[in-house]
C-alpha cells in the first residue's frame, strides 16, 4: 500500500477490506511491533474469567497477540465477512459479522473488556460507536483502543484494482470529549516512533 496524490476510487470499509482480505496479513508485523509494547501492558493481569470483544477484529491480528492471555470467551466482530473468515477459530471464540455504525447485536453489559484497533478512523458517528461500546460493557470494566494519526488514505491494490478505503480524520481532543460525553473515564497513552507522535492508545473505563 502506498500514498499517492491523485484521484482514485474510495470504497466503504466492508467492500474495501473484503477486497484485500488475502493481503491483509502482510501488514501485521509492523503493527505488531507497536502493539506488543504499547497495548499488552494495559491488559488486566488476570484474563481467564473475562469475556472480551474485538470490535473491528479483521483476520485476528489482535487475537494472535494474546496467545498468553486466556479468556473465558472472545468475540470477534467485523463488517468484512471475508476478512473475519480468516480469524482463528477456537472453542471460546465467537465470530459475528456486524456493522459498527449500527446497534451492536449484543445485550447490555455482556463484556468485561473491549478492543478496537485501527477502527475509529472508519467510523462516521463516534458518539453512537462509544455509546454502544459503553452499553455492552459491564460496569467498572474497560475498553482499549488504538488510534493512528492517518491524515490521508492509503492506496490499496488488488489485482488491477486500485482504491482507497473511506477515512475520517479526528483530533484526539475530539475523540476524548466524545468518549467523556458517553460517560467513559479516559486515559490517553501517546505512541511514538523515532520521537514522532504517530497515534494513541486510548483507555476507556466504564
For 112-138, write each residue's pLDDT tens digit.
999 999 899 999 999 999 999 999 999
Q: Other C-beta atoms within 10 Å of 60: how many?
A: 24
Q: CA-CA distance, 91 to 74, in Å (whole number)?
A: 9
4 in a structural domain: no
Q: How far is CA 37 from the centre of its chain?
A: 17
In a domain? residue 145:
yes
Neighbour-count burial for 102-136, b at 16+ CB within 10 Å, e otherwise: eebebeeebbbbbbbbbbbbbbeebebbbbbbbbb
User: Are 134 and 206 within 8 A, CB to CB?
Assistant: yes
**Residue 114 covered by a domain:** yes
* Count of structural domains within the chain: 1
Q: How confident is the model at residue 63 (pLDDT cuts 50, 70, 90)?
A: very high
Residue 94 lies in a domain: yes
Residue 164 belongs to some domain of the structure: yes
Position 195 scores a pLDDT of: 85
Task: Find the mean pLDDT for residues 32-57.
Answer: 86
Per DSSP, the residues of 100-150 read TTS--SS-TT-EEEEEEES-GGG-S-HHHHHHHHHHHEEEEEEEEEEEE--
Structural domain including 154 reads 10-37+50-205
47-70 mean pLDDT:
93
Grid coordinates standing for 167? 477515512
- 77 within a domain of the structure (yes/no): yes
Q: How confident is the model at residue 35 (pLDDT cuts 50, 70, 90)?
A: low
- Let me know if residue 5 belongs to a domain: no
pLDDT confidence of residue 31: 67
Across residues 38-51, what is the average pLDDT?
90
Q: DSSP code of 173?
A: H
Interhelix angle 172-181/126-136, rounded to 10 degrees, is 50
Grid cell in block for residue 77: 466482530
* Residues in contact with 94: Cβ distance below 8 Å, sequence separation at least 6, in sequence order: 73, 74, 75, 76
Residue 75, φ and ψ in degrees, nearest 5: -105, 125
Residue 1 inside a domain? The answer is no
Question: In what helix (H) or strand (E) does residue 38 lie, and over which residues does it extend?
Answer: helix 28-38
Q: What is the CA radius of gyration of the chain?
A: 16
Average pLDDT of the chain, as a whole number: 90
CATH of the domain at 62: 3.40.50.150
Amino acid at each position: 500500500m502506498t500514498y499517492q496524490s491523485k484521484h482514485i476510487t474510495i470504497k466503504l470499509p466492508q467492500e474495501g477490506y473484503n477486497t484485500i482480505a488475502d493481503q491483509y496479513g502482510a501488514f501485521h508485523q509492523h503493527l505488531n511491533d507497536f502493539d506488543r509494547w504499547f497495548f499488552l501492558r494495559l491488559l488486566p493481569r488476570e484474563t481467564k474469567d473475562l469475556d472480551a470483544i474485538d470490535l473491528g477484529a479483521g483476520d485476528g491480528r489482535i487475537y494472535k497477540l494474546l496467545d498468553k492471555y486466556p479468556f473465558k470467551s472472545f468475540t470477534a466482530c467485523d463488517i468484512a465477512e471475508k476478512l473475519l473468515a480468516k480469524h482463528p477459530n477456537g472453542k471460546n471464540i465467537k465470530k459475528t459479522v456486524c456493522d459498527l455504525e449500527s446497534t451492536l447485536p449484543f445485550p447490555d453489559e455482556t463484556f468485561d473488556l473491549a478492543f478496537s484497533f485501527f477502527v475509529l478512523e472508519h467510523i462516521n458517528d463516534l458518539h453512537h460507536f462509544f455509546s454502544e461500546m459503553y452499553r455492552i460493557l459491564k460496569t467498572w470494566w474497560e475498553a482499549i483502543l488504538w488510534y493512528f494519526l492517518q491524515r490521508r488514505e492509503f492506496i490499496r491494490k488488488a489485482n488491477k484494482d486500485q482504491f482507497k478505503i473511506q477515512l475520517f480524520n479526528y483530533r484526539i481532543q475530539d475523540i476524548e470529549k466524545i468518549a467523556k460525553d458517553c460517560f467513559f473515564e479516559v486515559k490517553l497513552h501517546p505512541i511514538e516512533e523515532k520521537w514522532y507522535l504517530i497515534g494513541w492508545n486510548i483507555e476507556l473505563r466504564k
